[in-house]
Every structure is written in C-alpha cells, then in structure tokens.
Amino acid sequence: MDITIKFTKMQGLGNDFIIVDNNEIEKNNINSSELAKKICDRNFGIGGDGLIVVNPSDMKGDTDVSWRIFNSDGTEPQMCGNGIRCFAKYIYENGIINKKKFTVQTLAGVIVPEIQENGEVRVDMGEPVLEAKKIPLSGIEGTPVIKHPIEVVDRTFTFSAVSMGNPHCLIFTEEDSEKLARIYGAEIELNTLFPEKTNVEFIKVLSRNNIKIDVWERGCGITLACGTGACASTVAAILNGLTDNTVFADLPGGRLKIEWKQDKNSNNVFMTGASEFVFKGEYYYKQ
C-alpha cells in the first residue's frame, strides 16, 4: 500500500534533513528508522543526511517541544547540532512555538535554541561530557581524554574525546584534513575504543579563534558540516591549549560560531549558525 507523507526539507551548512510531523508517522503506523533509510536515499528517495520527527509521542519531559532524529542509515543519534538548528527554525516559522527561545526534549537531555534577529539560531548545547566512561570509551579512563594514541590502518594518530550528547574522536593535524577524513574516517568510526561507534573530526588550527574541520559523521560518512562536531572540536582545542574560548569553526558547508563558557555560572557550549528552508512536498512511501 502506498502512503503519502507530508515533509519539509531544510539544511544547515549543507547538512540536510527531512522534517516530518509525528502525526504522519503514527497515523500510518510507520517505523521511523525504516522511513529514514528510504526517504534519505539520494537516488531513490528525497535525499538527506537525516530524518527529524517533530513531537514524537514517546518523548516525555517538561519542555516546549520534542524531537527524534535518525541518520540516513536508520540509526538514531542522541544529538545533531545542525539538525537542532533546522528543527528550531522549522518549529518557529511554522508557528508550533510562538517564542524565539524555547526548550527541546532530546535523547541528549534538554536543549535550548534561540532564534536571533538575523535569522540565525543560537543553541545552548549544554555541558560537554569529558569523562571517558560517559563518552563512552572502552579500555580508557580519565577526565579529560586528550592526546591518546589510536592505531588505524597504516597510521597512529593521537586523539581527544568529547561527547556533546554523541561521541566524537578529535584529531588535530597539519595535513590535508579532508583527505584524512575520507581515508581513515570509516575505520576510526568502527574502532573498538568506541563501543557506540563515533563521529570523527580532523582539525586544522588556523589561529587562536579559527579552526578548519572535516567530518566523518557516524552513520552518514563524509558530511558538509556537523554542529556537535564543531562544538566538540572547539572544546578539544581549548583543552589542548590551542585556541581561546570563542572560536569560528569553518566546515565545508560554512561557518559556525562556538563559545565554551567556563566560569562559576556556566560550563555550557553555545553554537550559532544558519539554517534554511529548502522545499516541502509529499513523499510516496511504499510499505
């Protein structure tokens, strides 16, 4: 039986997402993971890095709104930085929320986006997770995890590990970061050090306030941008003494501003960047 599903497509720095209301999922008794694999397929579907479900009934919490997000391979990450900006813009522009700052229930906890006057979205991403067992890492202990060796294929790298609700392996390099991500990203994602697999970032430090990042995203592969990756990269750069606390992160899809507030009042990371409407339509889903 063919089912028609209403959707909206949005992108944040080229990281693109299909947004669907939970009513579309429930009324048709659709498995969200299976839908993600089909609808995100760039040859046989709409094409996207992930599927975002608005207000799923299984997400509970004292928040303004909730979401679930699924990678293009059907896996469900705890958080996605570019995705949450697209979600926030969608929620506000479609009148689901009538205030510019609101709370979102996610698998990574409560996230607080705020629509800025220039249309960009600033997101309080919460505190970075630095404890090895909570990231999680296997066979490694300590807080923070920096300059730890990892052997992969024909190379040994040193990495830092940070979770922004999802795990990140952060490698600083002076080589071609895009080439390294393509060659080694998949192998590192599946390394046994990371029991839940990992996102992988190769990072060049350009100045005390500017870094360049190439990303191999867990469950997606090479992507144009990763918001949580930019946050984790900035945290790792600060922990390694390479940058100041406010950093512009340049990714293939564009630039994000990342701030890590470290004082008596806050230990939270803030991400600011663009998100844009692409198109909307109806998708014919064959069960």
Could you list the mean pLDDT of each consecutive 10-residue stretch along the chain, which spans 287 residues?
A: 91 96 92 96 95 88 93 92 96 95 94 96 96 96 95 95 96 97 97 97 98 94 94 98 98 97 86 97 89
Give the per-residue pLDDT at 146.
96
Cis peptide bond prior to 144, omega within 30° of 0 = yes
**Stated pTM of the model:** 0.91
Q: Which amino acid belongs to residue 27?
A: K
Q: Go through the domains of the chain in sequence order and give each one's CATH number.
A: 2-126+275-286 (3.10.310.10), 132-267 (3.10.310.10)
Give the per-residue pLDDT at 153.
86
Give the per-residue pLDDT at 59.
81
**What DSSP assignment string belongs to 33-45?**
HHHHHHHT-TTTS
Instruction: Considering the candidates 40, 220, 226, 231, report the single residue annotated as catalytic.
Output: 226
Give the per-residue pLDDT at 1.
67
Give the per-residue pLDDT at 258.
98
86 is catalytic: no
40 is catalytic: no
Give the per-residue pLDDT at 161.
98
> What are φ and ψ of residue 192, in 5° steps?
-65, -15
> By the 8 A CB rule, do 39 and 72 touch?
no
Cis peptide bond prior to 136, omega within 30° of 0 = yes
Instruction: Considering the candidates 80, 86, 169, 231, report the single residue annotated as catalytic.
Output: 80
Cα–Cα distances (Å) from 274 to 8, 117, 123, 277, 278, in that order, read 17, 12, 11, 10, 13
Give the per-residue pLDDT at 47.
96
Give the per-residue pLDDT at 243.
98
Give the per-residue pLDDT at 210.
98
